[in-house]
């Protein structure tokens, strides 16, 4: 068996497990807000369930499409660029306007200097 055929067989075997797992994560992202309401869970728990299911879906789907190295590179670039723009906005007000994080915990996590 050549190397190309072995790689194709390995990708096919992992893809067989990936597709049902992606469907489960998609269903979890749809059902988590409903479960929060029906089970009277705290909003933070529902938000954590939604965020974690969508994050896992994105990572798994990206890894099955682009490979783990590709999706990790994408993740590092996105986190670096978004952090740079957030810090730029805090320091200069560009591009998102002036804001800063307060010490207050709760629903108001930042105050806008409009």
100/26 Cα distance (integer angstroms): 34
pTM (2 d.p.): 0.66
Q: Residue 6 has what pLDDT?
A: 45
* Helices within the chain (DSSP H only): 3-38, 43-66, 68-92
- Cβ atoms of 88 and 75 within 8 Å: the answer is no
Kindly state the average pLDDT of the residues 90-109: 72
Give per-residue pLDDT as tens, 7-43.
454 455 456 778 899 999 999 999 999 999 999 999 9
- Cβ atoms of 64 and 18 within 8 Å: the answer is yes
- Cβ atoms of 85 and 94 within 8 Å: the answer is no
Q: Residue 90 has what pLDDT?
A: 85
Give per-residue pLDDT as tens, 31-74.
999 999 999 999 999 999 999 999 999 999 999 999 999 999 99
**Helices then strands, each counted (H, E), the chain:** 3, 2
Q: Residue 83 has what pLDDT?
A: 94
């Amino acid at each position: 068996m050549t190397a190309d055929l072995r790689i194709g067989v390995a990708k096919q075997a992992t893809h067989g497990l990936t597709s049902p797992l992606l469907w489960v994560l998609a269903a979890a992202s749809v059902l988590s807000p409903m479960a929060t309401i029906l089970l009277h869970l705290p909003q933070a728990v529902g938000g954590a369930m939604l965020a974690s299911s969508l994050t896992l879906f994105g990572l798994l789907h990206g890894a099955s499409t682009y490979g783990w190295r590709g999706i990790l590179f994408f993740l590092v670039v996105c986190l670096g660029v978004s952090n740079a723009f957030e810090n730029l906005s805090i320091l200069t007000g560009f591009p998102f306007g002036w804001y800063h994080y307060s010490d207050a915990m709760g629903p108001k996590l930042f105050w806008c200097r409009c």
